[in-house]
Amino acid sequence: MPLLINFNPMKKMGFVSAIIVVAVMAFNSAIDPLKNTKWEGANGLLVYFTPSDTVKLMFNDKLLSSALYKVKDSLLTWRDFIVSDATCDTSIRGVYIYHIKEDILTFRTISDRCEDRANVIQTLVLTKK
């Protein structure tokens, strides 16, 4: 004889909602493996890909630069959105291939009219924190 459990409809809806939220979070992290991660570089550089679509470059606990980023497959699109001596024109986008192997993150420039940024990003070797 099968066991019948009488679920309250509100509890059932809450349970289904929780499953959907977990599935969406798992799907999003599979699409963007950089999301909500921190990486260390040489001499105290910290690169933080936030839970949203921003990346922050910190040096000795001070913000050097912040940018909007998007990930699609192995491509990363980067656009600075803070104007400073360490950033490019905020209208210029750079496109990079990123590669993660054994907690090491590296980049290769595909296109970026901001040569200074391209030169810096493609030389980064970051270790997951």
pLDDT in tens, 84-99: 777 889 999 999 999 9
Residue 94 in domain: yes
pLDDT confidence of residue 86 = 74
Residue 13 in domain: no
Question: 3-state class of 42 per DSSP?
Answer: helix
pTM across the whole model: 0.74
Residue 103 in domain: yes
pLDDT in tens, 28-47: 445 899 999 999 998 899 99
Distances (CA, A) of 109 to 11, 53, 76, 79, 100: 50, 20, 10, 14, 15
Residue 114 in domain: yes
Residue 1 in domain: no
User: Do residues 33 and 27 lie in contact, with contact meaning Cβ atoms separated by under 8 Å?
Assistant: no
Read off φ and ψ for residue 43, nearest 5 degrees.
60, 35
Total number of domains in the chain: 1
**Which two tokens mark 125?**
């070797």
Tell me what the pLDDT averaged over the chain comes to. Answer: 83
* Widest Cα–Cα separation across the chain: 74
